[in-house]
Amino acid sequence: MIPLTGFAPDADVTTPGLISGCSNLIPYRNGMEGAPEPATPASTPALAAACIGAAVVTKLDDTRRIIAGTTTKLYELSAGSWTDIGRVAAYNGGIDTRWSITQFGDATLCANRADVIQRSTGASFADVATAPKAEILFSVGAFVMALNTNDGSEKPDGWHCCAAFDDTSWTPSIATQATSGRLVATAGKLTAGMRLGEYAIAYKMKSMYLGQYVGAPTVWNWIQVPGGEAGCVGKEAICDIGGAHFFVGDDNIWIYDGTRPVPVADGFVRQFFFDNSNPSYRYKTICVFDRQKNLVWVFYPSLDATSPNSALVYHVTARKWGVANRSIEAALNYISGGVTIDGLSSISPTIDGLSSYSFDSQFWLAGGKSLSIFNTSHQLQAMTGTSTASSMTTGEVGDDDAVMALNKIRLRYARAPQSASVQTFVQMNSGVGFTAGDSGSVLDGKFDVRQSARWHKATFTFTGPVRVTHMDADITPAGRR
């Protein structure tokens, strides 16, 4: 049987094992599986307004805070409610404002570029008096790094770092090593940034820089990373996949491990992504890494959307792609408190009501991490629910010079679905377009179909959780057995 090679609409459609189209189907190590449905954690109300940034941050004693921001407020999820922990004055966010959230020791810091950097160690957030306004914020080594700043004057290509080991001090000083600078070797503003080991990586739309700590008086030395026009489209279009950055650029999707950026979408989904994402709003792309499943979710606005409503899913080790479209406001890795027998009634009064949560889900584990989203109703949801429906369309099989008879198709499952059906398609001459052929449901582990044409393909529809690894078709020259 032929192993499935994943969703690859950019590849030759006659490639064995190729999936030319799919819905709610994502890769796993040995094949493809139905994508999980969003499930609302117990005692988690909706946010008061649209979420424009969220994160789970961990303090030095391993306690965690779940922070989410709206245009005018910052909230913390505590004891089953969202508590307003913003400063007294409302924040000045606008239409395109997004919060950047980082942790430095026991201090949580947030930036939205409309207001000076905010700081909290457990109580309400407050202005850091000497800090700039910043678009991007992350911690690296003994410093907090701010990119795309305003310190009284606009510096979209500017960077600032706080004093060593002191996130409350941003006034430039050789003694404290608080300093600032600008990255002007290439055009454009700084669009994203993230720590990579001991280095700070700063991105523009079509270039990127590596910053290394060198001590006073320079403090940080920046060099442009070779790699053509590799850059990042937006501050959330990047995630850390463990020793490397995965990011969406203006011309490709990339992985950068500190040496040279490497494209990962060529021949698979590169053209599909740029043909089906809105170029005017591509900067709103959100990437998040599901470490437990080795999956990167790339949420992006489709051609007719202004916010993320579609998603490509990439398996980092298997190097396969899938599709699981979702409309979201924000994404994060949520850490649950786990579930006890006594607490089941808070989730559902009946056993049947628990069926939306898969039994191997991180939802059940104390401290379990799970990919989570804020949906368009501002509700935090963990992607831990049971898959309900999915589908996939094969590549094309046949011969330009011979009519071929298709007699049956068989799929190999690691987990069989509750039900499955097939719709086949036929085409007599390449490029003229497919028309519907035979259809049917699974019988004795196979799909019995009977049709003749030069070219064939099939769409499979699954109900319930499924893991499919291989496929095979009984296809012979017409008129032969």
pLDDT digits (tens, 9 = 90+) for 280-297: 999 999 999 999 999 999
Q: Identify the pLDDT of residue 410.
A: 96
Flag whether pLDDT at 122 surpasses 80: yes
428-441 pLDDT, tens per residue?
998 899 999 999 99
Least confident of 104-113, 368-377, 378-387: 368-377
Portions of the chain given CATH number 2.130.10.10: 54-382
Flag whether pLDDT at 2 surpasses 50: yes
For residues 268 and 256, what is the distance between their CA atoms, to the nearest angstrom? 19
42-97 pLDDT, tens per residue?
889 999 999 999 999 999 999 999 999 999 999 999 989 999 999 999 999 999 99
For residues 115 and 336, what is the distance between their CA atoms, to the nearest angstrom? 31
Fold of the domain spanning 2-22+389-477: Jelly Rolls (2.60.120)
Flag whether pLDDT at 362 surpasses 90: no
Flag whether pLDDT at 320 surpasses 50: yes
How large is the average pLDDT for residues 343-352?
A: 49
pTM reported for the whole predicted model: 0.92
Flag whether pLDDT at 349 surpasses 80: no
Mean pLDDT of the chain: 93
Tell how strand 6-7 and strand 18-23 pair up: parallel
Percent of the chain with pLDDT over 90: 88
Portions of the chain given CATH number 2.60.120: 2-22+389-477
| Domain at 54-382, CATH class | mainly beta
238-260 pLDDT, tens per residue?
999 999 999 999 999 999 999 99
Q: pLDDT band for position 348 (50/70/90)?
A: very low
